[in-house]
Amino acid sequence: MSVQDWLNERLRYEAAQAVLEKKTVPVHRYAVTYYTGGITLFFFVVQVLTGLLLLMYYRPTSDAAFESVRLIISKVRFGWLVRNIHVWSANAMVGAAVLHLAATFFGRAYRKPRELTWISGVLLLGITLAFAFTGYLLPWNTLAYFATKVGTEIAGDVPIIGRGLMVLLRGGEDITEATLSRFFGIHVAILPALATVLLGVHLVLVQIHGMSHPISVRVTGEERFFPEFMLRDFIVWVVLLGGLAVVATLWPWPLGEKADPLAPAPSGLRPEWYFLFMFQTLRILPAHIAGLEGEVVGVTLFALAGLVLLLVPFLDRWAQRERSHPLVSALGAAAFAFALLMTALALVKGM
């Protein structure tokens, strides 16, 4: 008996291979958007691998966190590269996830029977942002300290559960070592566990239902997923890995100053680019709106927007009947335009 037969008897991989060989990808003029999911997955894998390496040296206490990251980037062999790739890839992963969201939204890929694929995807985007938010504090520098202070304070403005949520996140009233160890636990254990389960569900659903194609687009043919599409996926990943290495080498991510709870907030303080639109919106809202505090109104509206995004497959009745209504596209475009405008305003004001 050959090794191949021995393995096949136990793993039944030929059955999986048969499924893979039958899987096809539609060909049309927007087919390039099919790469966005794979790209997001690629950055996630990079995050897991570089995160594991960082974990060997990182120490989650207020006395040692900053120093341990400094050690990683200055003394540990290739530590600077691993840390820079981790930070750049985190940013790229958020970008890829947002692109993937836009592609699936405007292509109405959430329509029956892929509603649960959409919901698991939106939850994965939420987890990605939670990864970014919790990871940002870990170097324990001044920017991270105040960004976390503001971010958790915003969580405190969520109606009803806000106060409890803020104390739960911080591990108390203030940002302290309890917050750091909590964020560390969430970042390296809770979120990876949630992400693995949800990612598994998301990928299984994609396999069950296959690739969706936009309603009004003419499909000109089909190509095999294995090996044609998969090989091109790999080529994209190799190019991205090269790009990450170049960017991480040429533009190292600064570590900044160690957090000092008694220092005033530094000027020019602003969150990472993916939270800028919320930051700018909260900045321009008046102190009071209809008798309520402006920030409470803003946070409530953002929470509602998140809920609407999650429930899009059930709200878009036209897509359920295989119709692509311009109103849905217009609302989506308006939401993206608003986020872009607020981000641009924050960037201009911050300069």
Binding mask 111-150 for another protein (x = CB under 8 A): -----------------------------------x--xx
Percent of residues in the chain assigned helix, strand, coil, to nearest 5: 70, 5, 25
CB of 292 to another protein, least distance (A): 10
Q: How far apart are CA 305 and CA 309, in angstroms?
A: 6
Q: Of these, 123, 203, 293, 345, which contacts another protein (CB under 8 A)?
A: 293
CB of 96 to another protein, least distance (A): 29
Is 297 a binder of another protein (CB under 8 A)? no
Closest CA to 44 of 273, 252, 203: 203
Closest CA to 178 of 189, 188, 167: 167
CB of 149 to another protein, least distance (A): 6
Please say which residue, 264 or 326, places its beta carbon nearer to another protein. Answer: 264
Interface size with another protein, residues (CB under 8 A): 25
CB of 338 to another protein, least distance (A): 19
Choose one: 45-53, 229-237, 285-293, 334-342; the region binding another protein (CB under 8 A).
285-293
Q: How far apart are CA 97 and CA 115, in angstroms?
A: 18
Please say which residue, 150 or 217, places its beta carbon nearer to another protein. Answer: 150
Is 158 a binder of another protein (CB under 8 A)? no
Q: Write the DSSP string, 62-82.
A: TTTHHHHHHHHHHTSTTHHHH
Name the residue type at position 177. Answer: E
Q: In the chain, what's the furthest Cα-to-Cα distance?
A: 79
Is 326 a binder of another protein (CB under 8 A)? no
Q: Of these, 294, 313, 319, 328, which contacts another protein (CB under 8 A)?
A: 294
Choose one: 14-22, 101-109, 132-140, 292-300; the region binding another protein (CB under 8 A).
292-300
Name the residue type at position 104. Answer: T
Closest CA to 332 of 55, 7, 90, 109: 109
Rule CB under 8 A: which of 225-264 touch another protein? 261-264
Please say which residue, 92 or 154, places its beta carbon nearer to another protein. Answer: 154
Residue 271 neighbours by CB under 8 Å, 6+ apart = 147, 150, 151, 278, 279
Is 291 a binder of another protein (CB under 8 A)? no
Binding mask 72-91 for another protein (x = CB under 8 A): --------------------
Torsion of CA 174, 177, 178, 180, to 10 degrees: 100
At residue 85, the 3 state secondary structure works out as helix
Name the residue type at position 167. Answer: V
Contact between 118 and 110 (Cβ < 8 Å):
yes
Is 177 a binder of another protein (CB under 8 A)? no
CB of 297 to another protein, least distance (A): 11
CB of 350 to another protein, least distance (A): 10
Dig out the tokens for 175 from the structure: 């940002």
CB of 148 to another protein, least distance (A): 11
Choose one: 14-22, 37-45, 192-200, 275-283; the region binding another protein (CB under 8 A).
275-283
Dig out the tokens for 58 from the structure: 């990182």
Is 2 a binder of another protein (CB under 8 A)? no
